[in-house]
Structure 1
Amino acid sequence: MFEKIERVPGDAILGLIEAYNQDPNPQKVDLGVGVYRDVNGHTPIMQAVKQAEAHLLETEATKSYIGSHGDPRYGRVVADLVLGTGSAVIAANRVSVTQAPGGTGALRLAADFIKSNLPGKSLWLSDPTWPNHLGIFEAAGIAMHRYPYVSADNQLDFDGMLATLKTIPEGDVVLLHACCHNPSGFDLNQDQWHQVLEVVKSRGLLPLVDFAYQGFGDGLEPDAFGVRLMAENLDEVLITSSCSKNFGLYRERTGGLMVIARNAEQMENVRSQMAIVARENYSNPPSHGAAVVTEILESAELASVWRAELTEMCARINGLRTDLVESLKPYGLDQRFAHVAQQRGMFSYTGLTTAQVKRLREEYSIYMVGSGRANVAGFTGENLPYVAKAIAAVVD
């Protein structure tokens, strides 16, 4: 029965990992995969996570299922983290949290919920967006459209974005990146968020806010501005959150889908549907990562350690952006790449062309996605001069 099954191309980013691992060049640089790296190029386990895991090892009493919505304690701490401890939405019991296998799992929950409960509604995505957005919603059978986000001269195209949002049919879903836009690194400022809110309200749109990088842009609270603005001013919002980056729990698959409804009764109606969607996908989410996050956020001491670590990680990434631009100054390229320092998060649309990216990989063993998207966290003090020299050699 398998005779007619065809081989398909692998994931482009995962393919980069394989090519990088097989490259014998001692100066090779990995700027492709979206994980945080420290000054030694290592993806560390945070100290707060280590301490929380040690405590769990001593106190965890069962490995039983935790239910389709996951651990309610995790739901509470994540809602506080995303919406703020003083959130009127939480106080009014208008929000439901369904724990999911990572932010990706939360997006799939949202996709299946939209398909089942909002029939005929389309999804609008930024151009560009995280490639897996397309795969997830296509697999769920949802029609997709694009709104402009990055212009031909590699700048945020907010005017184009807003103009297209004003044409979206009432009731359609618009996916917004809360911060650290993947893959471009271009984020909306507060005034722009307010303008988007007004269009969403006037057009009767349902925002789906992808919040995968809280704390990696300008800090935990500033990064939540757009999410909280939507939550506080709209009757209905979908939010997907992830603990992969800000807790370093990549392989533990820890995320959640947050649904905000008009009132508590409607929230319970939606919550009942979410339980079915989760049950049909994976039945129960994995427990360990969520237990770690809960341990940390329920402990003032551990939360303080975690916040300090996250602040250091955020500062390192933003510092590396500035360092790259400075490293390009001797080649007269600092102005050409000045936008890198203005972007936020792990990723940067560098402005390098596909041909230039290919030369970097083939001639210098510097690996990044063909679109020119680079993981800024892959830079180190040691490899920056090498990378800058290579970029200068391949640009026109």
Structure 2
Amino acid sequence: MLERLNPAAPDALLALIKLYAADPRGDKIDLGVGVYRTDEGETPVFAAIKEAERRLVTSQASKSYLGPEGDMGFVEGLMPYVFGKDDPSMGGRVQGIQTPGGTGAVRIAVALAKAAGITRVHLGVPSWPNHAQILADLPLEMAPFDHACADGTANADAVLQVIRDARAGDAVLLHGCCHNPTGIDYTPDQWHEIAAALAASKALPIIDLAYQGLGFGMEKDAHGLRAVLAAVPEALVAYSCDKNFGLYRDRVGAFYAVAQDGSQLPAIMSNAAALARANWSMPPDHGAAAVRLVLEDEALTAQWLDELGTMRRRMRQVRDRLAAAGRVGTLDLTALGSQNGLFSMLPLDKDRIARLRSDHAIYMAGSGRINIAGLTQGNLDKFIGALADVAG
């Protein structure tokens, strides 16, 4: 039976990791793996998380199951940051469960949408590759539209047209902020247009908020999500703490449902819990418990937000330096300064990307996506010079 299986296509990013590790050059640059790095090239554990973990080790009395909903103190502790402290939806229209990372949250959101009657999901492309993989695995029809314009700004006209033309059984999956892989976000004005269009549409909004705090801060990065939720009767939200708490390997996420009426939530969440039970039974506890402890302690919360601010400022400095370089050969880097988060895309063909790797020890995805946090004050000039060489 098992001999019938054909080899799955190799993961290009994993192959890139191996190539980078095998490269002996001391000045090599890794722009492929999507993790934050300091100016020294490290991916540290947040000091606030370290302290929370220390307290967890000394105070945790049991590692018994919590149930498929996970740590509800964690789920509820995040809600003021996601939905806003004064949002009326906090008063009974929102409920959530813990998930294994943002991936688990997207999986539950899309699976629940399918169970509710969604048959087609509109997705701006390019997008995070796992979005399409999850839709194909369930399966659900994916209807792509162009997320970005050639000038490096968001294609608001495309998403607005999709929303206005949506039929019953459609959902629209949107990145809340710090778009992966382009770094191109909708402006506040565009978000309000999107919210108004969704309010008049048959489409169900699904919003993936995976990088809150890495663009302009926790409040501003939630602006688009909150604008939509203020306008629509119902929505699904996928959330990740992997980036903004540095908990990549601990897989910390949350799924939230926003219902028309609080009386609908027991049925909605019982379905979400059943899907979670079938997918992973119980979510991993350690990382979510550490986040809960951070959010319960005013001093740890302040420390976490300060560390997050340091990350955000460093990436903004890198973007500003790239944008200041302006035109480099045939490339114009100016737009990178107005983009947000960990990622941006460079319009380089595969031959130029291969030359960056072979001639300059610069490793990036074949799509042209780069991890902004892989660039430092020590290697930025080398990177810009390499771009001038291959794109001249």
TM-score when normalising by structure 1: 0.95
Tell me if the contact between 1:208 and 1:238 (Cα under 8 Å) persists in the aligned partners.
yes
Task: State the 1:87 CA deviation.
Answer: 2.0
Q: What secondary structure, in the 3-state scheme, does the structure 1 residue paired with 2:172 have?
A: strand
Counterpart of 2:377 in structure 1 is 381
Contact 1:147/1:165 (CA < 8 Å) preserved in 2?
Answer: no
SS at match of 1:370: coil
**Counterpart for residue 108 of structure 1:** 107
> Residues 295-310 of structure 1 correspond to what in structure 2 (within 5 A)?
295-310=293-308
Q: What corresponds to 1:360 in structure 2?
A: 356
Matches within 5 A, 1:5-20: 5-20=5-20
Separation in 1 of the partners of 2:152 and 2:323? 16
Range with greater deviation from structure 2 (4-13 or 188-197):
4-13
Matching residue's letter, 1:383: N
In the alignment, structure 1 residue 175 sits paired with structure 2 residue 173: yes
| Residues in 2 aligned to 1:155 and 1:79: alpha-carbon distance in whole angstroms | 30
In structure 1, C-alpha distance between the alignment counterparts of 2:328 and 2:190, rounded to whole Å: 32
Instruction: Provide the residue aligned with 1:136 in structure 2.
Output: 134
**CA distance in structure 1 between the partners assigned to 2:190 and 2:69 by the alignment:** 34
Q: Is the 8 A contact 2:122 2:143 kept in 1?
A: yes
- Structure 1 position 332, deviation (Å): 5.3
Provide closer, same or farther for how the CA distance between residues 335 and 32 of structure 1 changes in structure 2, counting only shifts above 3 A.
closer
Instruction: Give, as a single letter, the amino acid of the residue that structure 1 aligns with 2:259.
Output: A
SS of structure 1 residue aligned to 2:5: coil
Q: How far 1:380 sits from its partner (Å)?
A: 0.8
Equivalent position to 1:259, from 247, 257, 260 = 257
Q: Where does residue 82 of structure 1 map in the other structure?
A: 82
What is the rounded CA distance, in whole Å, between the counterparts of 1:171 and 1:342 in structure 2? 35
SS in 2 for 1:173: strand
Matched letter for residue 395 of structure 1:
A
| 1:158 to partner: Cα distance | 2.0
Of residues 241-250 and 260-269 in structure 1, the stretch that sits farther from structure 2 once superposed is: 260-269
C-alpha separation in 2, matches of 1:7 and 1:297: 44
CA distance in 2, matches of 1:279, 1:52: 28
Number of residue equivalences: 392
Q: Take 1:351 and 1:334, find their aligned partners in 2: how far apart are those partners?
A: 10
Q: Does 1:286 align with 2:288?
A: no
Amino acid at match of 1:90: M
8 A Cα contact 1:105 1:255, kept in partner: yes
Encode CA deviations 1:339-362: one digit per residue, 9 max, x unaligned.
Answer: 011100000112323322121112
Answer yes or no: is the 8 Å Cα contact 1:99–1:285 preserved in 2.
yes
1:343 is aligned to 339
* Contact kept in structure 2, 1:148 and 1:164, CA below 8 Å: no
Report the equivalent of 2:31.
31
CA RMSD of aligned residues (A): 1.6
Residue 166 of structure 1: SS of its match in structure 2? helix
Match of 2:185 in 1: 187
Compute the displacement of 1:148 (Å): 1.6
TM-score norm. by structure 2 comes to 0.96
Q: Distance in 2 between matches of 1:201 and 1:63?
A: 44
Letter in structure 2 aligned against 1:89: S
Q: Does the alignment pair 1:94 with 2:93?
A: yes
Q: What amino acid is the match of 1:114?
A: A
Quote how far apart the aligned CAs of 1:152 are: 4.1
- The separation in 2 between residues aligned to 1:216 and 1:153, in whole angstroms, is 23
Query: Contact (CA 8 Å) 2:331, 2:391: kept in 1 or not?
Result: no
Q: How does 1:184-263 map to 2 (within 5 A)?
A: 184-263=182-261
Over 3 Å counting, the alpha-carbon distance change for 1:390 and 1:335 in structure 2 is closer
1:171/1:205 contact within 8 Å kept: yes
Structure 1, unaligned stretches of length 5 or more?
A: none
How far, CA to CA, are the matches of 2:222 and 2:179 in structure 1?
A: 13
Give the deviation of 1:334 after TM superposition: 10
Return 260-269 or 146-155, whichever deviates more: 146-155
CA drift at 1:31: 0.3
Which SS does the other structure have where 2:165 is aligned?
coil
Give the unaligned 5+ runs of structure 2. none
Give the distance between the partners of 2:347 and 2:328, measured in 1 at CA: 16
Q: Distance in 2 between matches of 1:244 and 1:364?
A: 31
> Is residue 43 of structure 1 aligned with residue 39 of structure 2?
no
Do the aligned residues in 1 keep the contact of 2:151 with 2:335 (CA within 8 Å)?
Answer: no
Q: Following superposition of structure 1 onto structure 2, how do residues 307-326 of structure 1 map, counting pairs within 5 Å?
A: 307-326=305-324
Whether 1:372 and 2:368 are equivalent positions in the alignment is yes
User: For 2:168 and 2:192, how far apart are their aligned partners in 1?
Assistant: 19
Query: SS state of the match for residue 129, structure 1?
Result: coil
What per-residue deviation string (whole Å, max 9, x for no partner) do you get for residues 309-337 of structure 1? 001100101111112233x35x7569811
CA distance in 1: counterparts of 2:388 and 2:45, whole angstroms? 35
Aligned equivalents of 2:120, 2:339: Cα separation in 1: 29
